[in-house]
Amino acid sequence: MSNVTQDTAVRTSTVTRIFIYGLLILFAAYYLMPLFVMIVNSLKPLSEITSGNMMALPEVWTLEPWRQAWSKAQIGIEPTGLKPYFLNSILIVVPAVFISTIVGAMNGYVLTKWRFRGDTLVFGALLFSCFIPFQIVLIPMAVVLGKMGIAGSIPGLVLVHVVYGIGFTTLYYRNYYAVFPTELVRAAQIDGAGFFRIFWRIMLPISGPITVVSVIWQFTNIWNDFLFGASFAGQQQPMTVALNNLVQSSTGVKEYNVHFAGAILAALPTLLVYIVAGRYFVRGLMAGSVKG
């Protein structure tokens, strides 16, 4: 009787597992279908797409749509493709991610290890900034950038993203450092280490997991941003704004294969970041959630 019950349980477990995996595969296929359509049609001549056969594999494989999207497509006055706008996004993302991450780490360090009267209110204000909609800060930010003389420039966009991202990075590092033993900081002070030496030699070296979280979060938000780029970029537009201008062009023939290739090029950096470091994202979020 025991053997029959055990066999039945094994069969039931196998059937359940097959059902779960089948359901997950179905959901994954449904989720990946748009990506499949984009990739397949970016490798076709336009004539194959306009014939109405978008789901089929290309009869003639070509990389010409990718070359046009990268260096030949008409986006602004000159047929430059997405290349210069890709470089603009790099020039915006790299310093903005670096500065906001360092400032967030410094804020988290101060709010947990160098506490002062009113530090809770300061953290609450920074936390509140995480929930302010983008649209609310457009006019105040435009006024500030205009008075600073950096409106319509890459440094202006860097400043916008740094200011908006500090609340998130501070939250990450503050929660992470809160579980770090304060006694180690006090011991370093007794040994003569100062504020910055403790930060650079003790706190930052143990911040690897949460730094990955901060970098992924900031990189993704800044690279995918459209509203700030469209509002403050001027002529130095980021990738997302240029892609929108390419797709929304009202003149000439709609080159869907070029549009698909451009969309993949725009999404490629964030996709690579998640492929390379995505597994560390949840690990970093959980690293500071449990003490001990």
Q: Is residue 259 in a domain?
A: yes
Q: Which of 52, 72, 92 is the last residue of a domain?
A: 72
Q: How far apart are CA 250 and CA 119, in angstroms?
A: 53
CATH number at residue 244: 1.10.3720.10
Burial class (CB in 10 A: 0-12, 13-18, 19+), 242: buried
Residues 225-252 pLDDT 10s: 999 998 888 888 999 999 998 888 756 6
Tell me 44's DSSP state.
Answer: S
For residues 67 and 145, membership in a common domain is answered with no
For residues 214 and 186, membership in a common domain is answered with yes
Q: Is residue 37 in a domain?
A: yes
For residues 37 and 87, membership in a common domain is answered with no
Q: How far apart are CA 41 and CA 64, in angstroms?
A: 12
Residue-range definition of the domain harbouring residue 180: 83-289
The CB density around residue 262, as the number of other CB atoms within 10 Å, is 27
Q: Is residue 78 in a domain?
A: no
Q: Which residues neighbour 128 within 8 Å (Cβ) at sequence distance 6 or greater?
A: 167
Q: Is residue 77 in a domain?
A: no
For residues 159 and 260, membership in a common domain is answered with yes
Return the sign of the alpha-carbon dihedral for residues 17, 21, 22, 27: positive
Q: Is residue 252 in a domain?
A: yes
pTM (predicted TM-score): 0.84
Q: Which of 19, 49, 72 is the last residue of a domain?
A: 72
The alpha-carbon radius of gyration of the chain (Å, integer) is 25
For residues 98 and 158, membership in a common domain is answered with yes
Residues 5-26 pLDDT 10s: 555 555 667 888 888 999 999 9
For residues 51 and 107, membership in a common domain is answered with no
Q: Quick check: 218 and 97 in contact, CB under 8 A? A: yes
Q: Which of 41, 72, 103 is the last residue of a domain?
A: 72
Q: What is the mean pLDDT of each run of 10 residues along the chain (292 residues)?
A: 53 80 93 91 90 84 92 81 93 96 94 89 90 88 91 92 94 90 88 90 89 92 92 88 83 83 92 81 65 48
Q: CA 148, 153, 155 angle in degrees (round to 5)?
A: 70
